[in-house]
Amino acid sequence: MTDFPAGRHILPRPEHRDPVATALSVHDQSAPLRALGPVPPPRGAPNVVVVLVDDLGYGTSSAFGGPCRMPTADRLADNGLRYTRFHVTALCSPTRQALMTGRNHHSVGMGGTTEMATAAPGYHGFRPRSAATIAQLLQGNGYSTAAFGKWHQTPPREISAVGPFDRWPTGEGFDTFYGFMGAEMNHWYPQLYQGTTPVEPERRPEDGYHLTEDLVDHAIDWVRTQHTLTPGRPFFSYLALGAGHAPLHVGKQWREGYRGRFDHGWDEQRAQTLARQKELGVVAEDTELAPWSEGVPHWDELTGNQRRLATRFMETFAGFVEHADTQVGRFTDALGEMGVLDNTLFLYVLGDNGASGEGGIEGTVVEHRLGHGLVDDPDEMIAHLDEIGGPHSYPIAPAGWALALNTPFQWTKQVASHLGGTRDGMIVAWPAGIAERGGLRHQFSHVIDILPTIAECAGIPLPHSVDGVVQQPVEGASFASTFHDAHAPEYHHTQYFEMCGNRGIYHEGWMAVTRHGVPWEMVPTGIRHFRDDVWELYDLTTDWSQSRDLAAGHPDKLAELQDLFLIEAAKHHVFPLDDRVTERENPAVAGRIDLLGARTSVTYHGGMRRCTEETTPNVKNRSHSVVADIDVPETGAEGVLIAQGGRFGGWSVYLDRGCPSYVYNYFGMSGYAVRTPTPLPPGRHEVRVDFDYDGGGLGKGGSVMLIVDGEKLASGRVERTIAYYFSFDETLNVGVDLGTPVTEEYPVIDNAFTGTVHTVRIDLAPEAEEPDASGRHRRVLTSQ
């Protein structure tokens, strides 16, 4: 215990007392002096790798009988174990927070995504310090730690140049981070962070760039460097890929590899997948397909254009997933070449939730339209068929494919009540620690079980205190006992589920559930009362897929489980239930802390970049002004003064051939432009845009006035505006438009202003109140 006097229960390790000097000269020092070395890891502790793939669904990967080829998952499963009853939370941020902390998502404030945070205890989006992460646990016990890819756990108001950074990856136990902070990212033009420093890739898609390859390149470089410099120190690498979350971005050759493979449609795909699942043994032999989700058409009900589009969406999704898995294979191969793979505990989590139904009935070439209630017309989308997957698209597939990818279950991502939203495949491989190859494990497990399992395998106790904070109980249970015994007793007996008002409770083989909403209906249409929800009951010991509702025949069992849900929900801060989705993405409506507070004017200085939507003035649904103080050189000037958003929604103020210009991009569907007739002469100028919002609700139009040096030079109309959010991946930038361009009138790169931007000020109009469609009052904004 001399190397770790607290027995590893207090992290970080308390410093030992230095020996007392006994002499004036080091030559006469009698007591030996000892340098304080690094924290020693437990003897023989394995390396740990957690790979998390996004939005997959149980019936997606070839390793679990699905149509998407995942050769790396197949290889790891054949050399390890498939966990067939593994569960997540039905949405991305909550699953990630639960994975990292070993606690239920509401217990650590993540009842929804970070963008949906409210002021309620289970939904505020701030990980409590009493719930340390896997990375903190391993880092405090001598591991090197690194995270690559999607994070999506930091409160949006803290994703800025001023932080604070304690809830960024490098503040939560990771030595290194390279990736993105939000829900999704453009895989062709990503905006990334190295640690807490914003970075953009030097290469572009025309140079062969793709985000997934970039992330894996960085992961390989890091683990090679770590092993070279500290070969005796184990590592923890967390690789969280954005694939297969929207946007479905992948090179044409990967999509073409699936040409024609989905022409049979989603109904037939379900049948084919279930047959393969039975052959693999990942479902019971008597498993039936769960009922088809209401409101989704069957394949034979689609028009010809709908089928062509749906097939292309699915070909793109499958290529996206196979490409991602192939990159994971490169990482795995690198571990093998280094000779460290045998003693690496490798957990491959095939989805942070079920496959996404957020693409709605038709799918879309621009995902954000659906979040605002806009449905693309298939007869118009068909003209963009060959763009799907490329840089000029931001696609998500139709809900029918999500149902097929969640075979044999019903429903999708967001629906925590049904297994289509919460059950995903998981593979565990550890050649030095697991003797069986290609085994199946059917014990009920949950994402909160990963932390205690890793701790047990590493020989590390769960700490009592981390950074001086007493730790709340870990709510997961280790499944390490199943590594050596396929028939080990079930270790996880009770588990509640809740997301967006959809809820369920599992207890010792029985599951009671109630679905409250539909994932592709994200725009509010009025209040749905929770008391009106209908509960279903399933015996999962005899019904693998929730195909037979037993509620009518077992009312006492149903009532027992409903009471148990209330107990578990109260214990874990699930109440008050919140079924808002898109609404919660507006900080004022959600009631979460707004970085700008009541400020109605913000002045940006030239060169300020990468300001996320929640760290900038909210110009949506209100009148506002944008005022730029600039200098034009003698040679004239071009380029962007300020821009927010990008190709799929946003606005920009720029000089085009020297003429001050304003454009509003409505989801890539409409572009409203106003331009002065003459270029600016050399010298200092004030370029002002006044946007006079029509009012009368959300997403309405407005009038635009372009004013230069106090003179009104041009005016125009914006007929429709974006109500809730411009994007999850683009930012506001001064003097340049990073990521994708708001308008094609200037290039993707080399669009920086060629003069000098001194400042740009955004002024917001005052607010008023009026009732919304449901009768509740909300704040709205008056015109100037």
Calculate the CA dihedral of residues 205, 207, 213, 214 and round it to 10 degrees. Answer: -90
In the structure, what pLDDT confidence band is assigned to residue 527 with cuts at 50, 70 and 90?
confident
Mean pLDDT of the chain: 94
pLDDT, mean of residues 109-113: 97
Residue 590, pLDDT > 90, answer: no
Q: Tell me the H-state helices in 533-657.
A: 555-571, 587-590
User: Is residue 776 predicted with pLDDT exceeding 60?
Assistant: no
Nearest by Cα to 450 from 141, 125, 134: 134
Q: Name the band, by pLDDT with cuts 50, 70 and 90, for residue 5.
A: low
Distance of CA 202 to the CA centre of its chain: 24
Q: Are 463 and 8 in contact (CB under 8 A)?
A: yes
User: Whole-angstrom Cα distance, residue 692 to residue 41?
Assistant: 62
The pLDDT assigned to 212 comes to: 98
**Lowest mean per-residue pLDDT among 76-80, 183-187, 582-586:** 582-586
How confident is the model over 195-223, as a mean pLDDT?
A: 97
Residue 782: pLDDT band with limits 50, 70, 90: very low
The CATH homologous superfamily of the domain defined by 47-504: Alkaline Phosphatase, subunit A (3.40.720.10)
Residues 6 or more apart whose Cβ sits within 8 Å of residue 576 = 120
Question: Do the bridges between strand 649-656 and strand 445-446 make them parallel or antiparallel, or are there none, so unpaired?
Answer: unpaired
Q: Which of 27-41, 464-478, 578-592 has the lowest mean pLDDT?
A: 27-41
Q: Count of H helices and E strands in the chain?
A: 14, 31
User: Which residue is it, tokens 């730790």?
Assistant: 471
Q: CB under 8 Å to 684, separation ≥6 — which residues?
A: 629, 630, 631, 632
The CATH number fitting domain 596-781, selected from 2.60.40.10, 2.60.120.200, 3.40.50.1010, 1.10.10.10: 2.60.120.200
| 458: confidence class by pLDDT, cuts 50, 70, 90 | very high
Burial of 598 (0-12, 13-18, 19+ CB in 10 A): exposed
Tokens of 640: 């962007």
pLDDT in tens, 353-389: 999 999 999 999 999 999 899 999 999 999 999 999 9
Tell how far CA 653 is from the center of its chain: 30
Which pLDDT score is estimated for 85?
Answer: 98
The answer to whether the 47-504 and 596-781 domains have the same CATH topology is no
Cis peptide before 244 (omega within 30 of 0): yes
- As a whole number of angstroms, the distance between CA 127 and CA 124 comes to 9
For the chain, give percent helix, strand, coil, nearest 5: 25, 25, 50
* C-alpha to C-alpha distance for 548 and 190, rounded to whole angstroms: 45
Task: Give how far the C-alpha of residue 240 lies from the chain's centroid of Cα atoms, to the nearest Å.
Answer: 9
Q: In what order do the strands lie in the sheet with 649-656?
A: 670-675, 659-666, 649-656, 639-646, 732-734
Structure tokens at 404: 């097929």
CA angle (753, 758, 764) in 5-degree steps: 100
pLDDT of residue 15: 76
Would you place residue 77 in the very low, low, confident or very high pLDDT band (cuts 50, 70, 90)? very high
Residue 32 pLDDT level (bands cut at 50, 70, 90): confident
**Whether 784 contacts 625, CB under 8 Å:** yes
Under a CB-based contact definition with an 8 Å cutoff, are residues 239 and 48 in contact?
A: no
Residue 6 confidence (pLDDT): 58
End-to-end Cα, the chain, rounded Å: 70
Q: Tens of pLDDT along 626-682?
A: 999 999 999 999 999 999 999 999 999 999 999 999 999 999 999 999 999 999 999
Q: Considering the entire predicted model, what is its pTM?
A: 0.95
The phi and psi torsions of 443 (rounded to 5 degrees) equal -70, 145
Going by pLDDT thresholds of 50, 70 and 90, the confidence category of residue 774 is very low
What distance in Å separates the CA atoms of residue 497 and residue 416, rounded to the nearest whole number?
6
Average pLDDT over residues 293-304: 96
Instruction: Tell me: pLDDT of 169 over 80.
Output: yes
Residue 582 CB-density burial (10 A; 0-12 exposed, 13-18 middle, 19+ buried): buried
Sheet holding 683-693, edge to edge: 601-605, 756-764, 624-632, 683-693, 702-708, 711-718
Band (pLDDT 50/70/90 cuts) for residue 771 is: very low
Domain ranges of the chain: 47-504, 505-585, 596-781
pLDDT at 237 exceeding the cut of 90: yes
Q: Let me know: does 170 contact 141? Beta carbons within 8 Å.
A: no
In the predicted structure, residue 704 carries a pLDDT above the cut 60: yes
- The answer on pLDDT for 4 being more than 80 is no
Calculate mean pLDDT across residues 153-180: 97
Question: Per-residue confidence at 491, pLDDT binned at 50, 70, 90?
Answer: very high
pLDDT band at 597 (very low <50, low <70, confident <90, very high): confident
Tell how far CA 728 is from the center of its chain.
10
pLDDT in tens, 240-253: 999 999 999 999 99
Task: Report, at the CATH architecture level, how domain 505-585 is classified.
Answer: 2-Layer Sandwich (3.30)
Residue type, 379: D
| Bridge partners of residue 514, in order along the sequence | 503
Average pLDDT over residues 65-84: 98
Tell me the HSE value of 307 on the side-chain side, using a 13 A CA sphere: 15
Are 448 and 98 in contact, with CB atoms under 8 Å apart? yes
Burial class (CB in 10 A: 0-12, 13-18, 19+), 186: buried
If one counts every other C-beta atom within 10 angstroms of the C-beta of residue 267, the result is: 17
